[in-house]
Structure 1
Amino acid sequence: MDTKGIDQMLSMMRATAAQASGRAQAPASSSASSGSVDFAQVLQNSIQQVNQTQQEAESLSANFAAGDTKADLHEVMLSLQKADLSFQEMVQVRNKLVSAYNDVMNMQV
């Protein structure tokens, strides 16, 4: 699984949190803080990757259930576990985003 998009999103969230709390933004080692990364695009790409992983796992599972001799049980189980893990990661990112949104909304101006 490509974690570059997630790392960029986390870097952007840290920079935003630093700005919101009034701290000076610490220099980051990645290029994500240069402002060239669109948060919505990174989020959309991550969701598409999770969706693609789930579709591939579902396809392999259906082929195995249909009796396809090319479908290996080991590969089917690995793909299902990858899809489950990527979905769980996406849910955790969503939870963090909702929590951050609630924190921002509860700030006193």
Structure 2
Amino acid sequence: MSDIKIGVSQTLNNINRTLKPSIEPEKGFEGIVQEAMGKLSQIQNDAENAVRELTTGGDITQAIISMEKADMTFNLMVEVRNKLLNAYEEIMRMQV
């Protein structure tokens, strides 16, 4: 009888492990924004390092590519911010 209980218990544990999500829960809006800002900061740091290396005889092509990548990423973040502000203002204008 105890063998049956142990078998049922093990089966239920296996089912529970199978049903648990294996991916991490969603970060939410704040987490997404923080991650994007972190990536932007890293890209800008990479561009600064490429320019620093350029002054010591580094590759000019790599420096230009890094600077353009940082500029495009920054412009994208500004546009996203502008769209978010416009959406917020639109919501605030709504009558309840």
- Name the TM-score, length of structure 1 as normaliser: 0.62
- Aligned-residue Cα RMSD (Å) equals 1.3
Partner of 2:46: 56
Instruction: Provide the identity percentage.
Output: 35
Gaps of 5+ in 2: 1-24
- C-alpha deviations, 1:65-102, integer Å up to 9, x for none? 2x24xx21101100000000000000000000100110
Structure having greater relative contact order (Cα 8 Å, sep ≥ 6):
1
The alignment of Structure 1 onto Structure 2 pairs a total of residues equal to 72
Q: Which runs of 5+ in 1 are unaligned?
A: 1-34
Moved over 3 A (4+): none
Structure having the higher helix fraction is 2
Which structure has the larger Rg? 2
Residue of structure 2 equivalent to 1:84: 71
Match in the other structure for 2:4: none
Superposition TM-score, scaled by structure 2 size: 0.70
